[in-house]
Amino acid sequence: MATFARAAKNFLRSGILTNPITNPMRSPFQVSPSSSSCTWPQLLKWSRAFSTGVEAAEHIKWDYRGQRTSVPLGPWVPDVAVDAFVAPNAVVVGRVVVQDSSSVWYGSVLRGDLNKIFVGFCSNVQEKCVLHAAQLSPTGLPAETFIDRFVTIGAYSLLRSCHIEFESIIGQRCVLMEGSLVEAHAILEAGSVLPPGRRIPSGELWGGNPAKFIRLLTVDEVAAIPKIAKAVSYVAQDHASEFLPYSTAYLEVEKLKKSLAIPL
């Protein structure tokens, strides 16, 4: 808008609004092509400057729009460990705890408005997952969503008021419903649905909709589960090192202002 202000100032200096009008029937904005004070190219230039200023203002406003990663809700504030990675476009709301070396990846939402969500040490919630917790569980068990240590949650999964014990894997696009339980050293195949109150015993592989027992896990498969979680944690640290703790939108805004000759 500063560009428009300068254009308006030049317009006033041209004398169109201050010079006496010889013809009362003639508009003060009607300028003859032979006028030396203001020509049609000048008016066209000012109109372009006005439109550019409006577009620039809208662009600056857009640049300063930022998404909040951590959203307090009433008395509850998300508790995220110092070395945990929460992606810039992920959102944790309310009663959420993310422990050390854990990661919440791009586009995921952890909504702890009705109950608590806990993500344990060195666990990971991958892209576009949704974690929620009901106020009460139909099974009578705690309704919070609890993820123990060294757990991998595959992308696009939906978890609601479930309990996942340590060193387990939930495949991509899985749905775990209220009161479901995944015991330690268990794997749920991708695209599976675990109905309310269903339990996956330790050391077993389940899959399907609804999820059913497939086979027992081998010793090597069980040993690989925490290694996968650690590998994801190392990658998360690389991603975290690429982001500053504050937004850098102001750099783009300053660059835009300089290109439009707008004072900083």
What is the DSSP annotation of 181-230?
EE-TT-EE-TT-EE-TT-EE-TTEEEETTTTEEEEEPPHHHHHHHHHHHH
Give residue 34's pLDDT. Answer: 46
Q: What is the mean pLDDT of residues 174-191?
A: 96
Quick one: residue 3, left, alpha or beta (phi over 0 = left, psi -120 to 50 = alpha)? alpha
Q: What would the two tokens of residue 241 be? A: 């090192």
Whether the Cβ atoms of residue 202 and residue 186 lie closer than 8 Å to each other = yes
Q: What is the mean pLDDT of residues 136-163?
A: 91
Give me the architecture of the 70-240 domain, per CATH. 3 Solenoid (2.160)
Of residues 197 and 29, more confidence is placed in: 197
Q: Is the model's pLDDT at 74 over the cut of 70?
A: yes
Quick one: residue 222, left, alpha or beta (phi over 0 = left, psi -120 to 50 = alpha)? alpha
Q: Is the model's pLDDT at 53 over the cut of 60?
A: no
Give residue 128's pLDDT. Answer: 97
Domain ranges of the chain: 1-17+39-66+247-264, 70-240
Instruction: For residue range 26-46, list pLDDT tens digits in order.
Output: 444 444 444 445 566 665 565
Phi, psi of 71 (to 5 degrees): -120, 110
The pLDDT mean for the chain works out to 82
Q: What is the mean pLDDT of residues 115-122?
A: 96
Q: What would the two tokens of residue 184 be? A: 């330690």
Asked which of 31-35, 74-78, 152-156 is least confident by mean pLDDT, the reply is 31-35
Q: What would the two tokens of residue 38 be? A: 């203001």
For residues 70 and 235, give the distance between their C-alpha atoms in angstroms, rounded to a whole number.
21
Full-prediction pTM beyond 0.85? no
